[in-house]
Structure 1
Amino acid sequence: MNASPRRKELTRLAAQLFVQEGFDRTTVRMLAQEMGIKSGSLFHHFKDKQEILAAVIEEGTQNALHIARQTLERSTPSPEDRLRAMARAHLETLFTDRNAHVVALFEWRRLDAESRAHLSHLRDAYEALWVDVIDEALEADLIHGDRFLVSRFVLGALNWTVRWYDPSGPRSPDDLADELVAMIMPQSR
């Protein structure tokens, strides 16, 4: 997809509006007004509202994948360190690019089949990083359980923080990540 600075800015503004109004309630007129352009000018940058939604989710998912990969490259090989690093990276992504991630979490089902097919590889690549880290932690006997259930539990818990966590509150994102990892590790450690 086109990655011009103007399109990126429009995508960021669309993400904000989709979070505030929801995808279905957001009109092309509302998007154009938020972006400070005429409705017709919007189609210079995007084919339709569906393409805007796909652009928001694509940018957010690429950002999450980039942060996660960088974090794992800098992490020690310790399975516990890698698990903590991934939890911290996930929270960093959620809090630095919150709107795009809220849209990806809550509006994914609104994507048309073509857009879902186009974006699934990014989501799958991100989830594969988590599966690798969880597999390492399971093999090291740091955590127990079914890989699928553990990964869904961890990602679900981290994703839900966008609804209740206050970054200016008493707990830092690192504290939050450490708490989550501590919750899934056996107490006997």
Structure 2
Amino acid sequence: MNDSPRRKELTRQAAQLFVQEGFDRTTVRMLAQEMGIKSGSLFHHFRDKQEILAAVIEEGTQNALVMAKAALEACDHTAEARLQAMARAHLQTLLTDRNAHVVALYEWRRLDPGARDHLSHLRDAYESLWEQVIDEALEAGLIHGDRFLVSRFVMGALNWTVRWYDPAGPRSTDDLAHELVAMITHGAA
């Protein structure tokens, strides 16, 4: 996909509108107005609204993958440190790129099959990182349970923070990551 700065800015603006209005209720006219361009000019950057949705989800997922890999490379290689790093990176990604992630979480089903197939590899790569970290924690006896269920519960809890977490409140993303890891590891060792 085209990575021009203008397209990236338009993608961020579209993400905000999709969060506010929902993908189905957002019209091309609304997108163009939000972006400060004419409706016809929108098609200079994107083929259609479906391509805009795919661009929003792709950018957010790529950012999450980059942040998660960087967090894992920078941390100690213990199972607990890697679990903490992934939780912290996930929360930071959700909060720094909130709109793209909300769109990915709630509008994924609106992607056409071709876009869904194209983007599945990014989602799968991200989930694979989580599965590796959870496998390491299971092997170390840090946590117990079924890897599939543990990963779904953890990611579900982290994803839900976009609904309730206030970054200006008393708890940091580090606090949340620490608390999550403490909850899932309590009594496991």
TM-score by length of 1: 0.99
Alignment of 1:15-26 (within 5 A): 15-26=15-26
Task: Give, in whole Å, the separation in 2 of the partners of 1:97 and 1:170.
Answer: 20
The Cα shift of 1:187 comes to: 2.5
User: Given the superposition, is the C-alpha separation of residues 188 and 54 from structure 1 closer, same or farther in structure 2, using an over 3 Å criterion?
Assistant: closer
The one-letter code matched in structure 2 to 1:89 is A
Contact 2:141 2:188 in 1 (8 A): no
Cα distance per residue 1:4-32 (max 9 Å; x no partner) = 00000000000000000000000000000
In the alignment, what sits opposite 1:103? Answer: 103
In the alignment, what sits opposite 2:12? Answer: 12
In the alignment, what sits opposite 1:138? Answer: 138
Contact 2:57 2:103 in 1 (8 A): yes
Contact 2:80 2:142 in 1 (8 A): yes
Task: Give, in whole Å, the separation in 1 of the partners of 2:73 and 2:180.
Answer: 22
In the alignment, what sits opposite 1:160? Answer: 160
The one-letter code matched in structure 1 to 2:125 is A
The Cα shift of 1:75 comes to: 1.0
Which contiguous aligned blocks of 4+ residues in structure 1 show a shift greater than 2 angstroms? 186-189
TM-score by length of 2: 0.99
Alignment of 1:42-121 (within 5 A): 42-121=42-121
Whether 1:147 and 2:147 are equivalent positions in the alignment is: yes
The Cα shift of 1:84 comes to: 0.3
Report the 3-state secondary structure (helix = DSSP H, G, I; strand = E; otherwise coil) of the residue aligned with 1:76.
coil
Q: What CA RMSD, in Å, does the superposition of the two structures yield over aligned residues?
A: 0.7
The Cα shift of 1:186 comes to: 2.9
Task: Give, in whole Å, the separation in 1 of the partners of 2:116 and 2:38.
Answer: 28
Task: Give, in whole Å, the separation in 1 of the partners of 2:33 and 2:122.
Answer: 30
Contact 2:143 2:188 in 1 (8 A): no
Report the 3-state secondary structure (helix = DSSP H, G, I; strand = E; otherwise coil) of the residue aligned with 2:76.
coil
User: Given the superposition, is the C-alpha separation of residues 79 and 39 from structure 1 closer, same or farther in structure 2, using an over 3 Å criterion?
Assistant: same
Task: Give, in whole Å, the separation in 1 of the partners of 2:77 and 2:7.
Answer: 38
Task: Give, in whole Å, the separation in 1 of the partners of 2:53 and 2:152.
Answer: 24
Cα distance per residue 1:61-92 (max 9 Å; x no partner) = 00000000001011111000000000000001
Task: Give, in whole Å, the separation in 2 of the partners of 1:160 and 1:148.
Answer: 18
Structure 1 unaligned segments of length 5 or more: list them.
Answer: none
Task: Give, in whole Å, the separation in 2 of the partners of 1:186 and 1:36.
Answer: 51
In the alignment, what sits opposite 1:28? Answer: 28
The one-letter code matched in structure 1 to 2:106 is F
